[in-house]
Amino acid sequence: MGERVRTIDRSTIHDLMERERGTFRERHRRSGELAEAAKASLLYGVPMNWMVRWPGDWPVFVDRAEGARFTDVDGNTYVDLCLGDTGGMAGHAPKAAVDAIAEQAAKGITLMLPTEDAAWVGAEMTRRFGLPFWQFCLTATDANRFVIRWARELTGRPKIVVHNWNYHGSVDETFARLDADGMVRAREGLVGPPVPLDVTTKVVEINDLTGLEAALETGDVACALFEPALTNIGIVLPDPGYHERVRELCSKYGTLLMIDETHTICAGPGGCTQAWGLQPDIVTIGKTLGAGIPSAAYGMSDDVANRIVAHTDFQHIDVGGTGGTLAGNALSFAAMRATLGKVLTDDAFEQMIVLGERFERGVTDVIASRDLPWHATRLGCRVEYLFRPDAAHDGAEAAAGQDEELDPLMHLYLLNRGILITPFHNMALMSPATTAEDVDRHTEVFAQAVDELVGG
């Protein structure tokens, strides 16, 4: 059956894609008009360049969103499993956060002065991630940029090491991947790198401890910036014992271990750091902390905090390359306090993870019953399906499992039936507002898509 799928797939995919594009055009006329009008003032016709990646002939314009659902300007409703690619993981417009945001907005949005909420949020981050000291910024990209800078400053070393097929935001040093000869190259599409990537960056596969030791033993690596599991090329989980050994190697060679929990907070309230008992020197996180109000953070160990303070030039702290005028603003803190305190709570995660399991089961059953050479992988309340038989063991394997024709067809097929997953790979995320019915609706439509693809 697997062979049959592969041989008939391509023409079936093309035919289905044409049909689905027609359906999309018919059901999204108002979005089409707005998209056409937007071309007069917006580069590419969208406010942010990634939005050209959505399936369909133009982006769907949103009217309103609440909980795990949204309605577009044509009146179509959707179960949102993309959730703003994690920015909306708290669910859309969660009441507790909306109330706190409205209240704070009426009292002042940004002053470059702290409010009472700041220390509450800092203490909550410590409870979740175990690191004693925190700083705040607006995006996970910012957080990663700032901690890389500090790592170079503290260690006096020039390079960083990242996983192959990582994504950590628009951070110059991280856009590197390994080519077929194991050499460091810029990622495809990288715009205007300041220096060739191999000047700043080493790249190792997740789960390649020999490669990691070889990268570190030369003594020129300031920090390892890793997601605990890859989440931006499908999900690639670490081998048992991988992180313990990563910690040992970083300590042995004096490299700071930085764990980016921006997506992997899906593993639980304190991300993989809490769930798996990781011992990073630094944690970074953004996206979901403030229910979508720009909010991000980096936390550090006592040792790192002491070293940073010792290296701080207080007279020039405002031009040292970390921080920002809007960072740590009052509105973000009100949003984070309400989101962490009342929305993305420990109890909410329990329920979200149960739904993640249900989603994984549903997809896995469909794949198995149709004898397809595909699989689903889950990390907490985040699930991905990938068009290869087994879970990928590293980034290169996961990259080879992407399908440039099948991915967009699946995205569009689901969208036309009221389900949104990410426009990059095939990710579904559960929010506190997601229901079992939402999950089952996806399973049903996924099965329908598969049956059309295999002619079942």
Ligand X SMILES: Cc1ncc(COP(=O)(O)O)c(C=O)c1O
Alpha-carbon span 152 to 257, nearest angstrom: 12
Alpha-carbon span 401 to 422, nearest angstrom: 16
Q: Does 269 bind ligand X (CB under 6 A)?
A: no
Alpha-carbon span 259 to 282, nearest angstrom: 6
Smallest gap from Cβ 443 to ligand X, in A, equals 26
List the one residue out of 446, 399, 406, 340 whose CA is nearest residue 79. Answer: 446
Report the residue from 76, 135, 262, 274 that binds ligand X according to the rule CB under 6 A.
262
Report the residue from 31, 76, 139, 422 that binds ligand X according to the rule CB under 6 A.
139
Among 6-14, 26-34, 162-170, 394-402, which window interacts with ligand X (CB under 6 A)?
A: 162-170
Q: Where are the beta strands (DSSP E) in 191-340?
A: 201-204, 221-226, 256-260, 282-285, 296-300
Residues numbered 76 to 115 that lie near ligand X (CB under 6 A) are: 85
Smallest gap from Cβ 388 to ligand X, in A, equals 21
Q: Does 260 bind ligand X (CB under 6 A)?
A: yes
Cβ proximity to ligand X: between 12 and 170 the closer is: 170
DSSP string, 308-362: HHHH--GGGGGGSSS--TTTT-HHHHHHHHHIIIIIS-HHHHHHHHHHHHHHHHH
Smallest gap from Cβ 139 to ligand X, in A, equals 3
Among 259-267, 322-330, 356-364, 434-442, which window interacts with ligand X (CB under 6 A)?
A: 259-267
Gyration radius of the chain over CA positions: 22
Alpha-carbon span 433 to 186, nearest angstrom: 39
Among 12-20, 51-59, 65-73, 257-265, which window interacts with ligand X (CB under 6 A)?
A: 257-265
Residue 386 host element (H or E): strand 382-386
Report the residue from 128, 263, 342, 358 that binds ligand X according to the rule CB under 6 A.
263
Buried b (16+ CB within 10 A) or exposed e, 172-199: bbbbbbbeeeeebbeeeeeeeeeeebee
CB 432 within 8 A of CB 343: yes
Among 167-175, 244-252, 266-274, 435-443, which window interacts with ligand X (CB under 6 A)?
A: 167-175
Among 13-21, 89-97, 134-142, 399-407, which window interacts with ligand X (CB under 6 A)?
A: 134-142
List the one residue out of 369, 308, 387, 415 whose CA is nearest residue 70. Answer: 415
Among 58-66, 165-173, 330-338, 432-440, which window interacts with ligand X (CB under 6 A)?
A: 165-173
Smallest gap from Cβ 168 to ligand X, in A, equals 4
Interaction mask 357-396, ligand X, x per CB under 6 A:
----------------------------------------
Smallest gap from Cβ 332 to ligand X, in A, equals 13
Q: Which two tokens stand for residue 383?
A: 């699930």
Alpha-carbon span 30 to 392, nearest angstrom: 41
Cβ proximity to ligand X: between 257 and 366 the closer is: 257
Report the residue from 270, 271, 286, 423 that binds ligand X according to the rule CB under 6 A.
286
Smallest gap from Cβ 169 to ligand X, in A, equals 3
Cβ proximity to ligand X: between 134 and 167 the closer is: 167
Instruction: Read off φ and ψ for residue 379, nearest 5 degrees.
Output: -130, 105
Cβ proximity to ligand X: between 145 and 157 the closer is: 145
Cβ proximity to ligand X: between 136 and 167 the closer is: 167
Among 51-59, 161-169, 307-315, 318-326, which window interacts with ligand X (CB under 6 A)?
A: 161-169
Cβ proximity to ligand X: between 9 and 260 the closer is: 260
* Minimal CB distance residue for ligand X: 169
Residues numbered 196 to 235 that lie near ligand X (CB under 6 A) are: 227, 232
Kindly tell me the burial class for residue 362, based on how many C-beta atoms sit within 10 Å of its own C-beta (0-12, 13-18, 19 or more): buried
Q: What is the DSSP letter of 81?
A: S
Among 1-9, 46-54, 135-143, 202-210, which window interacts with ligand X (CB under 6 A)?
A: 135-143
Kindly tell me the burial class for residue 456, based on how many C-beta atoms sit within 10 Å of its own C-beta (0-12, 13-18, 19 or more): exposed
Alpha-carbon span 4 to 453, nearest angstrom: 10
Neighbours of 55 (CB within 10 A): 23
Give the number of residues in contact with ligand X, rule: CB under 6 A.
14
List the one residue out of 417, 432, 434 whose CA is nearest residue 27. Answer: 417
Q: Does 299 bind ligand X (CB under 6 A)?
A: no
Cβ proximity to ligand X: between 234 and 286 the closer is: 286
Report the residue from 141, 155, 377, 426 that binds ligand X according to the rule CB under 6 A.
141
Sites of contact with ligand X (CB under 6 A): 85, 139-141, 167-169, 227, 232, 260, 262-263, 286-287
